[in-house]
Structure 1
Amino acid sequence: MKKQLILASTSKYRQELLSRLAVPFSAQPPLIDEDKEKDPTLAPRALAEHLARLKAASLKGEGKVVIGGDQLVSFEGRIIGKAHTREKAIEQLLSMQGKTHELVTAICVFDGEKAIPYTDITRMHMKAMSREQIERYVDLDMPTDCAGSYKIEKHGIMLFSKIESQDFTAIQGLPLIELGKILETCSPL
């Protein structure tokens, strides 16, 4: 019997990424209230891992391989989330310009009842920029729905002087190199 592959996400970005692995899957919203599950006592990495696990666990079951993911920006010990407005996106980018932050991308794959977690930490070195440059960027990409207020897969690449990563796709929301390895162990897919 073939296992059903489920992406526990409504993110169009994660769906586009997973389609690159050329495996059939369905995307379903996780059955958790993410806002209620955000534990402010957890460190950024622990929080991303916690949420990824909860998302995947909410849809797990026999005959299913479920992928849950969470991504956040860790900057100077605090979490930078989605801006939701143009003004907040500009303020977030202004606070991070000229500095380095970490992009934490956590996934958890449930193969039936077995959990397989993985976390990618990417160090993002942002260029020093003026408010005008940042406003111009925000108007180009409108990155209000992205953690850290940038879309690296679009014009956001121009914000950075250096990116240290094991897997560039992790920056976009799913570390496909490691996920591909994990899915190979979950056969028969």
Structure 2
Amino acid sequence: MNHKIILASKSPRRQELLKLMDINFHVVLKEVDESYPEQLSPEEIAVYIAEKKAKAFDETVTDEIVLTADTIVCVNNQILGKPENEAHAIEMLQTLSGRMHQVITGVCLLYQHRYHSFYDVSEVFFAELSDEEIVSYVNEYKPFDKAGSYGIQERIGLIGIERINGSYTNVVGLPTEKLYRELMKL
């Protein structure tokens, strides 16, 4: 890959995934309002926010590819974003306990003032979690920067996830398989 990549994300998980893919990048952050129109589907929301993040760079990039992403958790068409506080994180995990939910990541590649967007969906099946397991996880890992209040690579994911239909890396925060193929097209 000969293009310079700008990752517009402070997520250490996305940064680690790109490193594991042997992609050279540097991080540039811009504040973006992550609100969205209410009538959008969960998939459309993830792509809409990823594109909104990319638009913040449209006037300033030249030959770089700007990579933006947004991951949401959806259970029964209810979007679970990042928790507001400890009680909210516990409530979200109680909602996910014993159920299947979707993790949807929207990705936008901005290159030469063109937006190339896509998304991936993974189904995640949680076992029943006790309140003690949930509270202990929230207290120890403080998952306040994670959609749905959990990281699949952390203890709650290791003890609570029964199975996944779809991409593991999508659940981490970046669908690397699709991303690689899309980057090769640019």
- Separation in 2, partners of 1:24, 1:98: 39
- Alignment length (residue pairs): 182
Partners of 2:19 and 2:57 in 1: how far apart? 20
Give the whole-Å Cα distance in 1 for the aligned partners of 2:123 and 2:140.
Answer: 24
Paired-residue identity, %: 29
> 1:164 maps to what in 2?
165
For the residue of structure 2 that corresponds to 1:129, the secondary structure is coil
**1-structure distance, mates of 2:19, 2:54:** 18
| Structure-2 residue corresponding to 1:56 | 54
State whether structure 2 residue 21 is matched by structure 1 residue 21.
yes
CA RMSD of aligned residues (A): 1.7
TM-score (structure 2 length as normaliser): 0.89
Name 1:80's counterpart in structure 2: 80
CA contact (8 A) 1:30 1:56 kept: no
**Structure 2 unmatched ranges of 5 or more:** none
Amino acid at match of 1:160: I
Tell me what 1:130 maps to: 130
In 2: Cα distance, 1:85 partner to 1:31 partner? 21
Show structure 1 runs of 4+ deviating over 4 A: none
* Distance (Å, rounded) in 1 between the aligned partners of 2:183 and 2:95: 38
Structure 1 residue 175: Cα displacement? 0.9
Q: Deviations over 1:75-132 (max 9, x none)?
A: 1111101113222111111122111110111101122123222211010111112212
Shift of 1:31: 5.2
Corresponding residue number in structure 2 for 1:43: 41
Correspondence 1:83-102 to 2 at 5 A: 83-102=83-102
How much does 1:183 deviate?
A: 1.7
Q: Normalization by structure 1: what TM-score?
A: 0.88
Please say if residues 83 and 89 of structure 1, whose CA atoms lie closer than 8 Å, have aligned partners that are also in contact.
Answer: yes
CA distance in 1, matches of 2:140, 2:160: 12
Quick one: structure 1 residues 161 and 3, their matched pair in 2 at CA, closer, same or farther if it must change by over 3 Å? closer
Distance 1:129 1:23, change over 3 A: closer
CA distance in 2: counterparts of 1:143 and 1:182, whole angstroms: 30
CA distance in 1, matches of 2:33, 2:129: 37
Q: Which runs of 5+ in 1 are unaligned?
A: none
Contact 1:140-1:155 at 8 Å conserved across structures: no
